Amino acid sequence: MKKLVQKMVTVLIVFGMGVGLLAGCGSSASNKENTLYVYNWSEYIPQEVYEEFEKETGIHVVESTFSSNEEMLAKLVAGGTGEYDVIVASNYVIPAMVEQGLIQKMDVSKLKNFDNLEDYAKGMSFDEKNQYSIPYMATITLVGANAKKCQELGVEINKLDDLLNPALANNLVVPDDCREVVDAALKAIGEDPDTTDEAVVNKTADWLKKLSANVKLYDSDTPYVALQTNEVAAGLVYNMDLAKAMWENQDIQLIDIPEGNEIAYDNFVLAGKSKKQDMAMKFIDYILKPEVYKKCLEEYPCVCLNKEAKKLMDDKYLQNPAANVSEAILKKAHLTGDVGKAASYYDNAFSKMKN
**What pLDDT score does 276 carry?**
97
Tens of pLDDT, residue by residue over 89-100, are: 999 999 999 999
Asked whether the predicted pLDDT for residue 51 surpasses 90, the reply is: yes
Confidence of residue 238 (pLDDT cuts 50, 70, 90): very high
Is it the case that residue 13 has pLDDT exceeding 50? Answer: no
Mean pLDDT, to the nearest integer, of 274-278? Answer: 96
At 288, give phi and psi (nearest 5°).
Answer: -80, -5
Average of pLDDT values for 253-281? 97
The continuous run of DSSP H or E covering 66 comes out as strand 60-66
pLDDT band of residue 32 (cuts 50, 70, 90) is: confident
Mean pLDDT, all residues of the chain: 92
The pTM for the full model equals 0.87
Cβ proximity of 232 and 245 under 8 Å: no
Other beta carbons within 10 angstroms of residue 316's beta carbon come to 13
Work out the number of other CB atoms within 10 angstroms of the CB of residue 275.
11
Q: What pLDDT score was predicted for residue 31?
A: 60
Q: Any idea which of 74-78, 181-185, 267-271 has the lowest mean pLDDT?
A: 74-78
Dist CA 78 CA 343 (whole Å) = 17
Confidence band of 43 (pLDDT split at 50, 70, 90): confident
Alpha carbon of residue 117 to chain centroid: 19
User: Is pLDDT at 304 greater than 90 in this prediction?
Assistant: yes
Q: Where are the domains of the chain?
A: 35-138+263-325, 140-262+334-354
Rg (the chain; Cα; Å): 24
Q: Which residues contact 332 (CB under 8 A, 6 or more apart)?
A: 260, 261
Predicted pLDDT of residue 80: 86
- Positive/negative CA dihedral, 127, 128, 130, 134: positive
Cα–Cα distances (Å) from 295 to 38, 44, 164, 215, 288, in that order, read 18, 11, 37, 33, 11
CA distances, 254 to each of 28, 136, 261, 279 (Å): 49, 24, 12, 40
**Which CATH architecture is the domain 140-262+334-354 placed in?**
3-Layer(aba) Sandwich (3.40)
Give me the mean pLDDT over the 271-287 stretch.
97
Identify which of 79, 64, 96 has the alpha carbon closest to the alpha carbon of residue 344.
Answer: 96
221-230 exposure pattern, b = at least 16 Cβ within 10 A, e = fewer: eebbbbbbee
Compute the distance between CA of residue 109 and CA of residue 212 in angstroms, rounded to an integer. 47
Residue scoring higher pLDDT (21 or 40): 40
CATH of domain 35-138+263-325: 3.40.190.10
Return the sign of the alpha-carbon dihedral for residues 274, 276, 281, 287. negative
Quick check: do 35-138+263-325 and 140-262+334-354 share a fold? yes
Burial pattern 340-355, b for ≥16 Cβ within 10 A else e, equals eebbebbbebbeebee
